[in-house]
Structure 1
Amino acid sequence: MNDQAERVTRPFRFGVVAPIRSDLPTWRDRVRRIADSGYSTLLMPDVPTWQPAIGPTLATAAALTDLRVGSWVYAAALREPWSTAWEAHSLSVLTEGRFEMGIGAGRPGIEVELGLPAVSVAERRTRMRETVAALRRFDGPDLHTPVVMAVSGPKAQALAVEVADSITFVLQPDNDRAETANRARDIPEDIELGQHVAVVGDSVHPFMAPPTLDTAALHAADSLLVLPSDPAAAAEEFQRRREELGFSYFVIGADFAETLAPAVAQLAGQ
């Protein structure tokens, strides 16, 4: 493994989680504004019953703009590997290579809430591995759908190092900057490090974290789940996180896209 100081400095890119929470014309206008603001990727959460399914929604978004699109993230607790891989490969083909498959274990208990059988942590990891393997078979030698894997524990992280192109850590409110830096040092330099940011200023974005999240405690702990709402301060923090921790891909909620657009315009691609 590589020491963090030796990591390759990757160009910044920025993604936006933009589920449909309005009428369709309003959502389409929001997608176009996101594309015009320098963001690279339009992302959808995997929360059945809350919004339309990921596949058709991302296909619609991809037809509106030239943005990359992706799942943030497929929940292995809800999905069978073969069918998920088929959908991911299909999106990669239909968007002409603009799709990236985000996948993770899924929120604890989400499958039971939806009336499905409970899925153990070990089985979730198995499904994640099998999904990526099936995706590679579907892609064949002429296509490589990028895989972003959301990881929490060491076993999931080891799996991601083996099969993913990008890794994002599932951070808890009490995970501090030093702890995350230690985890980042164990990631090889050929893997992109992504950051899921749930809070900007004192606001929590829906789909990104529970609304009961204690934002004051996060600020006090210098949590990486938080960014400042001032664009200049946010730009400085993006640069600090890349320099000190190696993060170059940042994913925020759509409600914050316009607020942080000046920082994104300044840094995207640099």
Structure 2
Amino acid sequence: MTYSSRSRSAHGKERGTRAFRFGVSLLATGSRSAWQRKARQAEDLGYDVLLVPDHLGMLAPFPALVSAADVTSIRVGTFVLNSGLYRPAVLARDVADTDQLTDGRFELGLGAGYQDADFKAAGLPLPSRKQRIEQLARTVRQVRRLLTSADHRPMVRQKPHPPLMIAGRGARMLGLAGREADIVGLPLDAGVKPGTEPERALAERVALVRAEAGERADDLELNLLIAGVAVTPDRPDLPALRPFLPGLSEAEILRLPNVLLGSERQIAEQLRHLREAYGISYFSVVEPHMAAFARVIAQLR
């Protein structure tokens, strides 16, 4: 864990200030050469972590990450695997081999799954939200037990196991993340509900995670998925955001802490504020925002 200075949280508690990290989720592979060219571009633009989502009909996470690691020196990770589609023993095997084949640069991101289409494509019924969270909790416990066992083959490169991210929206998911994860992924809507003040909602989500983490709260890395980036006076593409942010008005979407508007310097200051006030130091974007957000990264190095 890298700390660069000391700061105080919004609650007055002194804690270490983590160095910024920036991730980008790439959405399509194409040919081997095209995929590896895109991976090198992400590294050249200043990203620290190359991420791959997990939806059937899109790229397969593990082989894509190994291929990307072959031509880059940055870390790689899943953002995030649908735990409902994986048996723990099979997942532990794939995680361990991926960690070995990426020279210990792999980060395991897990979620409970939320898209009915993924479960249907896998020939599985969509469990209830409670059942999906319980399944995720069991998977985390079993995969961790397997990866830390001296008898498990293959063995992981990173000890005791690759960093674990858990990402989700609701209180139960974020509570699980606070108790079990090394990295907590905060939701696309930043916890905002219609009629609530956006930054207050985000602060409440962070407070929930830290309360559940207890004594290990200061060891957590907090990630915020960026919903939109417009490094100009223009607005981000709201039609592209609305399907992922149902119930929020245009004005509420534009006020989300993770909808970034303004100059490179203004957005950089916004991210510094989120780190200073709430301890959020790891920011990730999806591929369409990769080039625009890179201009902000340059302000923060």
Name the TM tier (shorter chain): 0.7 to 0.9
Aligned AA (1:85) = A
Q: 5+ residue gaps in structure 1?
A: none
Return the TM-score normalized by structure 2.
0.78
From 237, 247, 250, the counterpart of 1:203: 237
Question: Is it true that 1:216 corresponds to 2:265 in the alignment?
Answer: no
Q: 2:187 aligns with which of 164, 170, 175?
A: 170
The equivalent residue for 1:109 is 116
Cα-Cα RMSD: 2.7
- Greater CA drift, 19-28 or 84-93: 19-28
2-structure distance, mates of 1:105, 1:11: 28
* 2:271 is the alignment partner of 1:254: no
Q: For residue 138 of structure 1, report the CA deviation from its aligned partner.
A: 3.3
Which is worse superposed, 243-252 or 140-149? 140-149
1:20 is displaced (CA, Å) by 1.4
Unaligned runs of 5+ in 2: 1-8, 151-158, 211-216, 231-235
Q: Secondary structure at the match of 1:8?
A: strand
Corresponding residue for residue 54 of structure 1: 61
Task: State the shift of 1:149 in Å.
Answer: 0.5
Amino acid at match of 1:250: F
Q: Relative to 1, partners in 2 of residues 1:192 and 1:205: Cα closer, same or farther, differing over 3 Å?
A: farther
Larger RCO, structures 1/2 (Cα 8 Å, 6+ apart) = 1
- Cα distance change on mapping 1:96 and 1:22 into 2, 3 Å: closer
CA contact (8 A) 2:29 2:59 kept: no
Tell me which amino acid in the other structure corresponds to 2:107: E
Q: Show structure 1 runs of 4+ deviating over 4 A.
A: 21-24, 211-215
Counterpart CA distance in 1 for 2:238 and 2:35 is: 19
Percent identity of equivalent pairs: 31
Say if 1:109 and 1:132 are closer, same or farther in 2 by CA, change over 3 A: same
Larger Rg: 2
Specify the SS of the correspondent of 1:85. helix
Contact 1:111–1:117 (8 Å) recurs in 2: no
Task: Summarize the Cα distance change of 1:193–1:211 in structure 2 as closer, same or farther, 3 Å threshold.
Answer: closer
Structure 1 residue 106 displacement after superposition: 1.4
Cα 1:209–1:16, aligned 2, differ >3 Å: closer, same or farther? Answer: farther
Q: d(CA) in 1 for partners of 2:41 and 2:249? A: 27
Q: Is the CA contact (8 Å cut-off) linking 1:45 and 1:54 kept in structure 2?
A: yes
Q: Specify the alignment match of 1:66 in structure 2.
A: 73
Pick one of 83, 89, 92 that aligns with 1:82. Answer: 89
Is 1:157 the counterpart of 2:157 in the alignment?
Answer: no
- For residues 15 and 225 of structure 1, what CA distance do their matches in structure 2 show? 14
Aligned to 1:184: 206
Q: Which residue of 2 aligns with 1:17?
A: 25
Do 1:199 and 1:205's aligned partners in 2 also have CA atoms closer than 8 Å?
no
Change (3 A) 1:245 1:119: same
What is the alpha-carbon distance in structure 2 between the residues aligned to residue 23 and residue 53 of structure 1? 13
After TM superposition, the structure 1 stretch with the greater mean CA deviation from structure 2, 109-118 or 211-220, is: 211-220
CA contact (8 A) 1:81 1:127 kept: no
Shift in alpha-carbon separation, 1:139–1:184, aligned structure 2, 3 A: same
> Deviations for 1:38-89, whole angstroms, at most 9, x for unmatched residues?
211000010111x231111111111110110000000123333332232222
CA distance in 2, matches of 1:212, 1:157: 18
1:172 Cα deviation after fit: 3.3
CA distance in 2, matches of 1:230, 1:259: 11
TM superposition score normalised by structure 1 = 0.86
- Figure out how many residues of one structure are paired with residues of the other and give that number: 264
Q: Whole-Å Cα distance in 1 between the matches of residues 37 and 252 of structure 2? A: 32
Counterpart position of 1:242 = 275
Q: Which amino acid aligns with 2:276?
A: E
Contact 1:205 / 1:253 at 8 angstroms: preserved in 2?
no
Amino acid at match of 2:292: T
